[in-house]
A = this chain, B = another copy of it.
Amino acid sequence: MKRLSILGSTGSIGKNTLEVISRNPDTFKIVALTARNNISLLESQIAQFNPEVVAVFDGSEAERLRSKKLPVKILSGEEGVIEAATLENVDMVVSAIAGSAGLMPTLAAVKAGKTIALATKEALVMAGSIIMAEALKRGVKIIPIDSEHSAIFQCLNGRDIEEVKRIILTASGGAFLGKSASELESVTPEDALNHPNWDMGRKITIDSATLMNKGLEVIEAYWLFNIPVEKIDVVIHPQSIIHSMVEFIDGSILAQMSVPDMKGPISYALSYPHRTENVMPALNLTDVAKLTFEEPDHEKYPSLSLTYDALKRGGTMPCVLNSSNEAAVEAFLNKRISFTAITRVVSKTMAEHSVLKGETIEEVLSASIWARQKAEEIINETEN
C-alpha cells in the first residue's frame, strides 16, 4: 500500500490522479490533499478518499472549510501545504500545484525524503539545481508525470544516459499551429484556450499555444535527466500520439505513444517500476492512420529560443523566464496584452536581469519576485 499526499488535488492533474487511485483502492491510500481555494471540490474529495489531513492555501477558504466540521485535520497557508507535503507517514508526494506556487512544497517534500511524482515543472525550472542536489543527497526518486518526460523516462527505462545521443520532445504546436505569425497578433484568450488534443488548465494551455510550455519542458528535461542542453531537441507532432523520444548513440530511437490521456503518465509514476492494467484506452494506429512531424518555427514561436538562451545563461535566468511568463500569461488572459506580447514581455524582462547563481532558494525566490514586478512594469508600458 503506497501512502500518498496529493499537492494540488483540485487541479487537472490532481483530479486525474485521484481517478487513477480510485480504480486501485487496494494499492494506494490518500493521506493528504491540498488545494488553493476550490473547497467545494475538495470537500467531495474528502468524502470520497477520507484523507487524514487537507491543506487549503487560501486562509479564508480554509476557515470556511473548517466551519463544516468535517472529520479531517485542516491546515492552511503555504506552511499548511508544506506540512501536508512532509507528513511522516507519506511515501510519495504527487507534486501537481500549478505554477511557481508548487516550488516550496515540492522542495520540502524532497528534503523530507519523499518519492516525488512530479507534474509541477516550475519546481525544476525555477530551482532545478537546488532540487536535484537535494534529491541526490537524500537518494530521492523524482518520477515525471508530464507526458513528455514520462515518455522519455519509459524509453530510458534505467539505461545509462551516456548511451543517449538526443532527447526529442514532441510538441502538438498548440492551438495556433496553422496560423501565420501575423495572424497571431489578434488571437484572443478564448481562441488560445481551445487546445486540439489535451484538456488542461488555463495557464498550461496558453503556454502550449506560445510553445513556452515546451520551453519549460526542455528545462525540466535538462534537470530531470541530467543531459546537456545541446542534446535536447523539440519537434512539432500535431497528433500528440508520440509523447517524446530518445535517440541513442547507435542511431536507434525509442518512442512512447498512447492516446492523449494524462492518466497514463500519472499511473506510470504512481506504480513505477510496475505497470497497472487498463489505464488508458488502446491506441489504434490504423485509426490514427498517420503521424506527422515538422520543425518548430522559431520566428513564430520565440519561446523556444528564449528557453534555450535562459538555460545556457543558467543561474536565476530560467526562473526569471518562468515568472515573467506567468505574469504575462495572466495579463493576456485578462486581455491586458496581446498574445504575441507574452513572449515580448518575457524577452524584455530577461534582457534586464542580472543573472545570479541561484544556489540558495532565497536567491531564486527574490529573482522570481523581481521578474514578476519587472514584467508587470513592462506590461503596464505595453498597455499604455
Contacts and interface: CB of A to CB of B under 8 A. Distances in A.
Given A154-B254, A254-B256, A279-B250, A274 B235 contact: no
Interface string A264-289: 10011000001111111111011011
A253 interface: yes
B155 A275 contact: no
Interface stretch (A191-199, A292-300, A329-337, A375-383): A292-300
Q: Give the number of copies in the complex.
A: 2
Interface string A132-175: 00000000000000000000001101110001010010000000
A261 B253 CA distance: 13
Nearest to A252: B258
A252 B264 contact: yes
A257 B264 contact: no
A249 interface: yes
A248 interface: yes
Contacts of A282: 165, 247, 251
A168 B288 CA distance: 15
Contact of A275 (B163, B235, B274, B293): B163
A181 interface: no
Interface of A: 154-155, 157-159, 163, 165, 168, 235, 242, 245, 247-259, 261, 264, 267-268, 274-283, 285-286, 288-295
21 contacts: A157-B158, A157-B159, A168-B285, A235-B285, A242-B255, A245-B257, A249-B276, A250-B264, A250-B279, A251-B258, A251-B264, A251-B281, A252-B268, A252-B279, A253-B257, A254-B256, A254-B257, A255-B255, A255-B256, A290-B293, A291-B292
